[in-house]
Amino acid sequence: MKVLIAIFLLLSSLSARENPFFPSDGEKEIPYTTNENKTLPDLKRATITLPSKARILESVTVKYKNLDGSVESKTIEVENTIDWHLPLFISQSYYEDSEKTQTKTKEKVKKTTTSQKAEANEKVGSIPFADFYISGKSFKINTKDKLIRNFLMTQPHRIVLDFEKDATLHAYTKINPESVFSKIRVGNHSGYYRVVLELDGYYKYKLEEVTEGYLIQLK
């Protein structure tokens, strides 16, 4: 009888796993390949457009899924200036497709550059005592009137310039859809008139006095 009791106590002290098909605490699962039948298209080209505030591309991060279903990412440092008007591409195409894409991109850049050169020193509007010229990201105001203040406003992003003059002036508006200076507005106030330059995005600007008037350069 004593022997049977001893055997019973010995067996009851042994611990058994509830489910032998799952790893116990402390054990590490071995990565496995999923057998899920999920068909995805091959990557050809993905496009991303950055906001108008973007000026420098610092790095690019790619998030990807491994064979075992885990997700990781890799980052490359870039540190290059960019033109936010142009999109960024990621592709995994054959050489011929890449050549076509590069050719189209070069043609677009060339067309943009040619357009900017074509509008160099182009007169885009005038009022009785001021003429307005656009050259790429530069805006020139030919006037003999004194600039009393200038500042930047948002929503929409615009540069405001007030010129000293007592004059009667009708409201003036000029739309430039192909320029970074998308709209010019002029209004009359007591003792001064205001020139408002609406921009196609976010910019800093530099203003300097020149022989014929004032020059604004966007950054």
Angle at 122 (CA atoms; ends 117, 123), nearest 5 degrees = 170
pLDDT tens column, 155-208: 899 999 999 998 888 899 999 998 999 999 999 999 999 999 999 999 999 999
118: confidence class by pLDDT, cuts 50, 70, 90 = very low
pLDDT tens column, 133-145: 999 999 999 999 9
- Listed as own residue / partner, the contacts of 97-103 with beta carbons closer than 8 Å and 24 or more positions apart are 97/44, 101/45
- For residue 219, pLDDT beyond 80: yes
Higher pLDDT, 113 or 46: 46
Amino acid at the residue 102:
Q
> Which residue, 18, 90, 85, is CA-closest to 55?
85
Report how far residue 20's alpha carbon sits from residue 4's, in angstroms, rounded to the nearest whole number. 29
Report how far residue 83's alpha carbon sits from residue 80's, in angstroms, rounded to the nearest whole number. 10
User: DSSP labels for 62-100?
Assistant: EEEE-TTS-EEEEEEEEEEE--TTSPEEEE---HHHHHH
> Which residue, 210, 42, 30, 202, is CA-closest to 121?
210
pTM above 0.75, yes or no: no
- For residue 129, pLDDT beyond 80: yes
pLDDT at residue 197, as a whole number: 97
113: confidence class by pLDDT, cuts 50, 70, 90 = very low
Tokens of 94: 């054959």
Residues 195 and 127 sit within 8 Å (Cβ to Cβ): no
pLDDT at residue 146, as a whole number: 96
CATH class assigned to 122-218: mainly beta
Residues 143 and 216 sit within 8 Å (Cβ to Cβ): no
Coil, strand or helix at 30 = coil
Residues 105 and 88 sit within 8 Å (Cβ to Cβ): no
Report how far residue 179's alpha carbon sits from residue 199's, in angstroms, rounded to the nearest whole number. 8
- For residue 69, pLDDT beyond 50: yes
The boundaries of every CATH 2.60.40.3500 domain in the chain are 122-218
pLDDT tens column, 6-35: 556 565 555 555 555 555 555 545 454 555
- For residue 151, pLDDT beyond 90: yes
pLDDT at residue 110, as a whole number: 52
68: confidence class by pLDDT, cuts 50, 70, 90 = confident
